Amino acid sequence: MAPTPALADRVRTTKPSAIREILAVTSRPGTISFAGGLPAPELFDTEGLRAAYDAAFARSARRALQYSTTEGAPELREAVAARLHGRGLPTCADDVLITTGSQQGLALITTALIGPGDAVLVEDPTYLAALQGFALAGARLIPVPCDEEGILPDALEEIVARERPKLLYTVPTFQNPTGRTLPAARRAAVAEIAARLGLWLLEDDPYGDLRYEGRALPWLAAHPGAEDRTALLGSFSKVMAPGLRLGWLRAPAALLRAAVLAKQAADLHTSTVDQLATAEYLRTVDLDAHVARVRDAYRIRRDALLAGLGAALPAGSTWNRPEGGMFVWARLPEGHDATALFREAAARGVAFVPGAPFFAGTPDPRALRLSFTTHTAEEIEEGLRRLAGA
Ligand code: PMP
């Protein structure tokens, strides 16, 4: 018998996610995990969602179980548009495509814009599954230098002029993995550079609603010059539940049409029943009140992590203090290695994610990402004691 033909080059050359492998190690019972960015399951509004599914079935079971349009259920597109509008971004339902998680939005924009060899700019470090998606498309990934506040506009301008990229991918608010937020003046500068030099912006914002202090900043998409060149991704994962797999894409008309075409080929449409139940939920429950409760709980958890990190990490370590989101980004002192520490920590029943895989440029072996949303403050304190032992 002859062997089967080889897998496509794109999957043979793309590395599996380091985080999925770490999650496998840390799924052991009793482990306290600062690793995965998992929302706290005890904060899911399980009763509210169950009632919304019941109502969606009672009202229109046949429709809920039927094929539907690629663009998404009209009432959910309306509800998403109204939320964006209410936060200062003029949006109508036709500007919005419902996606199977914001992860699918990333894939659709990649299919719509990126061919083999096209240059894509990314923050350094950045979201791992975005790096994977761009790599699968054959993109040439170019890291943009960042400091504690994110992208350095002068460096961005110089790279755009030199490399002529198609796209900048950015998570400007409470970034994964660093928790960093791009300040207002830099947002305006990035939008201006994109407009002047000709660049698409892919603005990924799954964390913006999880703000524990400080004032909300406008989306890049709302800036003069960026309106006609920004694809904005949003998600119900962090404010409702990630298992719903519901997100959205807001984009200029031509790009949205291309994304709809790509989605037809990918999955025809996002689950009708999940869309109708979520639309029902948004109609009958005050999501903002629910998010306020989640924020209050997460603020306490963030503060517990920040209060104990100094005693847990080796002297000379540094870390930031994000105003929202799920992650703290830390750096061990000279001579330490986060991957070596991870092994020690895992053996003691505590986990985090070494930072190196998040870099498109030169990895920092001393960096690590700690998520604070999954466990209570007491569990966080115990996790930090184990980390100190490691
Ligand atoms: N973008 C970023 C920056 C993320 O951190 C995540 C989830 N970890 C996603 C997109 C995907 O989220 P979802 O598909 O659940 O909306």
Looking at residue 26, its pLDDT comes to 76
pLDDT above 90 (res 28)? no
In this structure, the residue with its CA closest to atom 5 of ligand 1 is 176
pLDDT (tens digit, 9 = 90+) per residue, 238-258? 999 999 999 999 999 999 999
| CA 102 to ligand 1 centroid distance, Å | 6
- Alpha-carbon gap, residue 149 to 6, rounded angstroms: 44
For residue 81, give the 3-state DSSP assignment: helix
Residues with CB under 6 A from ligand 1: 37, 101-103, 127, 171, 176, 204, 206, 235, 237, 242, 247
Looking at residue 9, its pLDDT comes to 86
| CA 68 to ligand 1 centroid distance, Å | 24
Q: Is this structure's pTM higher than 0.95? A: yes
- Alpha-carbon gap, residue 203 to 106, rounded angstroms: 10
Q: Which of 108, 178, 174, 218 is nearest to 328 (CA)?
A: 178
| CA 50 to ligand 1 centroid distance, Å | 24
Q: Which of 280, 207, 269 is nearest to 58 (CA)?
A: 280
| CA 101 to ligand 1 centroid distance, Å | 7
Name the amino acid, one letter, at 358: F
The boundaries of every CATH 3.40.640.10 domain in the chain are: 47-284
Nearest ligand 1 atom to the CA of 235 is 16
pLDDT (tens digit, 9 = 90+) per residue, 39-91? 999 999 999 999 999 999 999 999 999 999 999 999 999 999 999 999 999 99
Nearest ligand 1 atom to the CA of 242 is 15
pLDDT above 90 (res 290)? yes
47-284: CATH number: 3.40.640.10
Choice between 236 and 29, residue whose per-residue pLDDT is larger: 236
Structure tokens at 175: 């970034």
Q: Do 389 and 381 meet the contact criterion of CB atoms below 8 Å apart?
A: no
| CA 206 to ligand 1 centroid distance, Å | 6
Looking at residue 263, its pLDDT comes to 98
362 contacts: CB under 8 Å, gap ≥ 6 = none
pLDDT (tens digit, 9 = 90+) per residue, 317-371? 999 999 999 999 999 999 999 999 999 999 999 999 999 999 999 999 999 999 9
| CA 1 to ligand 1 centroid distance, Å | 43
The boundaries of every CATH 3.90.1150.10 domain in the chain are: 9-45+288-389
pLDDT above 70 (res 159)? yes
Pick the CATH number of 9-45+288-389 from 3.40.720.10, 3.40.50.450, 3.10.20.310, 3.90.1150.10: 3.90.1150.10
Nearest ligand 1 atom to the CA of 245 is 15
Structure tokens at 15: 């590395």
Q: Which of 245, 255, 195, 247 is nearest to 220 (CA)?
A: 195
